[in-house]
């Protein structure tokens, strides 16, 4: 049995305002007040884990212990089968210091083209989101959501963010960069992880 969330306040262990807003909206129906880690002056720990789950856990625990309140963190990325899982937990880093995802997508495509030249035509990929709810006593509950599909080139669509324009989810004709935001949010890796979290800890 997962531990249930019974507090009034929840720290969001993210310094990304978009994520904080999105999580605040998701938590609103449960009467939870969300507090961004930045507003409490909490530092951002280094993401030294080797899995999405480990990074979500270390971020959530660092905030929960420092704030003495439960904290929620996520870690996500794109896993490309033919690239042995790259960019994976380094998905943000592939965009370089300017956070340019046109560069990151091109790097993925170039690596895939290298595989194609060697006879490997596998373009399957999936997005992963790990979500951890941590308490100040060190207890954690972690959930993982995935959405599977294939990578297209050239990228299509101006919506979404990150690798969305080159990701075509199974059964869809539009990339995540072309889809209506609500349609993406209904099927995304993050939505799937959130549903598990809500069912287990907030339901
Ligand atoms: P982090 O979880 O903030 O460490 O960043 C994960 C990185 O993975 C993001 O910067 C994006 O590049 C990528 N990513 C995660 N989720 C998505 C998504 O839904 N669409 C496109 N890219 C994503």
Do residues 129 and 78 touch, judged by C-beta distance below 8 A? no
43, two tokens:
């530092």
Domain extents in the chain: 9-202
Is the pTM above the cut of 0.85?
Answer: yes
Pocket probe for ligand 1: among 22, 145, 161, 166, the residue whose CB has the most ligand atoms within 8 Å is: 161
Burial of 49 (0-12, 13-18, 19+ CB in 10 A): middle
Give the single-character DSSP code of 32: P
Do residues 151 and 130 touch, judged by C-beta distance below 8 A? no
Strands 71-80 and 124-134: antiparallel
pLDDT for position 24: 87
> Looking at the domain 9-202, which fold is it?
Maf protein (3.90.950)
Instruction: List the one residue out of 74, 135, 125, 121 whose CA is nearest residue 104.
Output: 125
Tell me the three state secondary structure of residue 176: coil
pLDDT for position 135: 98
Tens of each residue's pLDDT in the chain, 203 residues: 999 999 999 999 998 888 888 888 888 889 999 999 999 999 889 999 999 999 999 999 999 999 999 999 999 999 999 999 999 999 999 999 999 999 999 999 999 999 999 999 999 999 999 999 999 999 999 999 999 999 999 999 999 899 999 999 999 999 999 999 999 999 999 999 999 999 999 97
Q: Dihedral sign, CA of 69, 193, 141, 4?
A: positive
Pocket probe for ligand 1: among 91, 100, 105, 194, the residue whose CB has the most ligand atoms within 8 Å is: 91
Ligand 1 lined by 151 (C-beta under 6 Å) = no
Question: Distance (Å, rounded) from C-alpha 124 to C-alpha 154?
Answer: 15
Exposure class string for 69-84: b at 16+ Cβ within 10 A, else e? bbbbbbbbbbbbbbbe
Query: Active site includes 170?
Result: no
Question: Distance (Å, rounded) from C-alpha 89 to C-alpha 49?
Answer: 9
pLDDT for position 203: 78
Which residue, chain included where needed, has tokens 């212990």?
Answer: 65
Give the start-end residues of each E strand in 57-152.
71-80, 124-134, 140-151
């Amino acid at each position: 049995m997962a531990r249930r969330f019974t507090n009034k306040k929840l720290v969001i262990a993210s310094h990304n305002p978009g994520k904080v807003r999105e999580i605040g909206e998701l938590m609103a129906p449960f009467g939870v007040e969300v507090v961004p880690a930045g507003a409490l002056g909490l530092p951002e720990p280094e993401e030294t884990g080797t899995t999405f789950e480990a990074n979500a856990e270390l971020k959530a625990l660092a905030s929960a212990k420092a704030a003495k309140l439960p904290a929620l963190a996520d870690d996500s990325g794109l896993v490309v089968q033919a690239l042995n899982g790259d960019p994976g937990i380094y998905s943000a880093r592939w965009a370089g210091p300017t956070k340019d995802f046109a560069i990151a997508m091109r790097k993925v495509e170039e690596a895939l083209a290298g595989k194609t030249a060697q006879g490997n035509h596998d373009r399957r990929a999936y997005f992963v989101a790990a979500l951890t709810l941590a308490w100040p006593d060190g207890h954690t509950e972690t959930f993982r959501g995935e959405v599977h599909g294939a990578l297209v080139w050239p990228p299509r669509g101006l919506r979404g963010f990150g690798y969305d324009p080159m990701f075509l989810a199974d059964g869809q004709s539009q990339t995540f960069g072309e889809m209506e935001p609500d349609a993406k949010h209904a099927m995304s890796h993050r939505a799937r992880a959130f549903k598990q979290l809500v069912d287990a800890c907030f339901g």
